[in-house]
A = this chain, B = another copy of it.
Amino acid sequence: MEIAELGEFGLIRHLTEGMEMENASTLKGVGDDCAVLSPEDGMQTLVTTDMLMEGVHFDLTYMPLKHLGYKAVMVNLSDIYAMNGTPRQITVSMALSKRFSVEDMEDLYSGMRLACSRHHVDIVGGDTTSSLTGLAISITAIGTAAKEDIVYRSGARETDLICVSGNLGAAYMGLQLLEREKAVYNQQVAETREQARRNGSNVDEAIARIPQPDFSGREYLLERQMKPEARRDIVERLHEAGIRPTAMMDISDGLSSELMHICEQSHCGCRIYEERLPLDYQTAVTAEEFNMNVSTCALNGGEDYELLFTVPLTANDAVAALEDIKIIGYITQESLGRALISRDGNEFELKAQGWNPLK
Name A residues whose Cβ lies closer than 8 Å to a Cβ of B. 3-4, 6-8, 11, 27-28, 31-39, 41, 43-51, 53-57, 79-80, 82-83, 85, 89, 91, 93-96, 124-134, 136, 138, 140, 142-143, 147, 150, 152-154, 249-250, 265, 356-359
A127-B34 in contact (CB<8A): no
Smallest beta-carbon distance A155→chain B, Å: 11
A11 to B357, CA, bound (A): 12
B47-A89 in contact (CB<8A): yes
Which residues of B lie under 8 Å from residue A143 when comparing CB positions?
Answer: 34
Smallest beta-carbon distance A264→chain B, Å: 10
A56 to B94, CA, bound (A): 13
A33-B250 in contact (CB<8A): yes
Since A33-B249, A38-B45, A49-B126 are in contact, a sample of 4 more A-B pairs with Cβ atoms closer than 8 Å, ordered by chain A residue number, is A47-B89, A47-B140, A57-B129, A127-B138
A37-B44 in contact (CB<8A): yes
Which residues of B lie under 8 Å from residue A125 when comparing CB positions?
Answer: 47-49
B47-A37 in contact (CB<8A): yes
The 9 closest A-B pairs by CB, nearest first: A39-B39, A138-B138, A34-B46, A51-B93, A33-B82, A37-B45, A129-B357, A33-B79, A140-B140
Smallest beta-carbon distance A307→chain B, Å: 10
B356-A91 in contact (CB<8A): no
Most buried by B among A95, A126, A143: A95
- Nearest residue in B to A247 (C-beta to C-beta)? B32
- Nearest residue in B to A142 (C-beta to C-beta)? B47
Smallest beta-carbon distance A152→chain B, Å: 5
B127-A50 in contact (CB<8A): yes
A55-B132 in contact (CB<8A): yes
B4-A129 in contact (CB<8A): no
A32 to B147, CA, bound (A): 15
Using known A-B contacts A91-B140, A358-B3, determine if residue A36 contacts B46 with beta carbons closer than 8 Å: yes
- Nearest residue in B to A55 (C-beta to C-beta)? B132
Which residues of B lie under 8 Å from residue A357 when comparing CB positions?
Answer: 8, 128-130
A46 to B89, CA, bound (A): 12
Which residues of B lie under 8 Å from residue A249 when comparing CB positions?
Answer: 32-33
Which residues of B lie under 8 Å from residue A93 when comparing CB positions?
Answer: 49-51, 138
- Nearest residue in B to A2 (C-beta to C-beta)? B358
B95-A36 in contact (CB<8A): no
Smallest beta-carbon distance A175→chain B, Å: 17
A153-B49 in contact (CB<8A): no
A95-B50 in contact (CB<8A): no
B152-A56 in contact (CB<8A): no
A83-B32 in contact (CB<8A): yes
Smallest beta-carbon distance A109→chain B, Å: 15
Smallest beta-carbon distance A51→chain B, Å: 4
Which residues of B lie under 8 Å from residue A31 when comparing CB positions?
Answer: 153, 265
B51-A127 in contact (CB<8A): yes
- Nearest residue in B to A83 (C-beta to C-beta)? B34
Can you give 9 contacting A-B residue pairs, CB < 8 Å? A8-B357, A8-B358, A32-B152, A34-B48, A47-B125, A49-B125, A51-B93, A56-B129, A95-B136
Using known A-B contacts A4-B359, A129-B357, A130-B53, determine if residue A48 contacts B36 with beta carbons closer than 8 Å: no
A134 to B136, CA, bound (A): 12
Which residues of B lie under 8 Å from residue A83 when comparing CB positions?
Answer: 32-34, 36
A358-B11 in contact (CB<8A): yes
Which residues of B lie under 8 Å from residue A44 when comparing CB positions?
Answer: 27, 36-39
